Amino acid sequence: MAGGWEADLARRYLGAQRRSRFSSLIGLFSLAGVFIGTASLVVATSLMNGFEEQVRDRLIGRDSHLDFEAMGDEGLRGGDSLPDAIVKADPRVVAASPFISGKAGISGGDASDGIVLMGIDPKRFSKVIDVQNFVVAGNMDLRTFAMDSGRTEHGIVLGDWLSRRLGVLPGDKVTLMALTSPEVLSGAAAPRYQRARVTGIFHTGMYEFDANLAYVSVASGQDLYDSPGRVSGIQVRVKDLWQARDVGRVVAAKLGGSLRPVDWLEKNENLMKWMRLEKIVVVLVLCLIVVVAAFNIASSLIMGVLERTREIGILRAMGASARSVRRVFLLQGLMAGLWGAVGGVLFGLVLCLVQDRFRVIKLPGDVYFIEYLPVSVHWGDIATIFSVAVAICAAAAFFPAWKAARLDPVEAVRHE
């Protein structure tokens, strides 16, 4: 049986000091190759999983799981009642909040810039998005302030990179100009202006958000864009973000099909595809290390077959079948891959644990959105890496084992 003398002989052959030191060195290198390749795959996939989760968390923290938008360009009416209707339409919906968005010009200090302005409901938005968790100065105060002159100022919260470009801090004043009307952009109509007071600054770590986004209240946005009673859409938070697309279809169908659902994956489709493609490419490249190590295992076994031709002949003469001889060398290659894969997986997991706990490898915070290399071990990936490494090594051992099984007993005994 496979677990009897064949396995014992395979272990002896794997650890024996052969007459050729060169073949022994090849065997050692092949074992080290499997070890290094497997450990590299464990660390690389864990790092890429960590980056993907960090990016996803930042995206979801700044944005909603699901948006409902109008089919046309006129926006949605019923910004006060639609959120409640959406929450009641599906039990998987946690909360909903209206928003209005558009392009705007902003000036403050000695600079001006173009931004994306997002009007949100101060009472509802905290249940849908987590922007308040990223506020680094001031607070998310979006109320309207009455001035002694009789005029009003609306609270506005800016991304930190935007505030740096403008040179403003909480308490400073900025001027907003609506840029959504074609007549305004062509110069045929005068733009609408609005005074605002900076009440907070946020930092999500995503440059495109921190440099180009500002928050005001829905009422302020409706006033600036001259859209009374209309909103751009409804932001929604669901219990399971991976069910956002299905929730969107169900809710849109129940509400008559007048809403167009856009889930977070659709909004960030290009970024998520790029990260998945990058992971596949890195894994394939690192798999070449295991493949090269498997070729070394095959070379080592072929040399072992040549060195032990007489021993194989004696085994056959004593009654060992060709199948048993083939199994000996298959087990030898499988053991080499198994030992290398086990050691590589354990070493890779130790490296991931050290990095996750002690954050040994730092990153420049002003370049990346995090200050250390993130790791996230997925046991499904670990199992796949281990299985593939062992399978590659077992496949590499097939030809030498087949060659050993085809040796003629008489010619093998007469060898040397």
CA–CA separation, 140 and 97 (whole Å): 16
The boundaries of the domain holding residue 308 are 5-59+271-413
**Rounded-to-integer distance, Cα 257 and Cα 255, Å:** 6
* 214 and 83 share one domain: yes
**Number of domains making up the chain:** 2
* The total number of residues written for the chain in this structure: 416
Radius of gyration of the chain (CA): 33
For position 47, what pLDDT does the model report? 95
Would 237 be classed as within a structural domain? yes
The token duo for 405 is 């099984």
Tell me whether residue 322 is in a domain. Answer: yes
Asked if residue 263 belongs to a domain, the reply is no
Instruction: Give the separation between CA 142 and CA 16, rounded to whole angstroms.
Output: 76
Q: Closest Cα to residue 157, out of 192, 185, 191, 129?
A: 129
Per-residue pLDDT of the chain in tens (416 residues, 90 and over written 9): 344 788 888 887 776 544 556 666 777 888 899 999 999 999 999 999 999 998 888 788 778 999 999 887 778 988 889 999 999 999 999 999 999 999 999 999 789 999 999 999 988 999 999 888 889 999 999 999 988 777 889 999 999 999 999 999 999 999 999 987 665 555 656 788 999 999 999 988 788 889 999 999 999 999 999 889 899 999 999 999 999 999 999 999 999 878 999 999 999 999 889 988 999 999 999 999 999 989 988 988 888 888 888 888 888 888 888 999 999 999 988 998 999 999 999 999 999 999 999 999 988 766 676 778 999 999 999 999 999 999 999 999 999 999 888 887 766 666 55
In terms of domains, do 307 and 362 share one? Answer: yes
pTM for the structure as a whole:
0.80
Same domain, 281 and 354: yes
Domain identity same for 91 and 51:
no
Dump strand ranges (E) for 224-353. Answer: 230-231, 233-238, 259-263
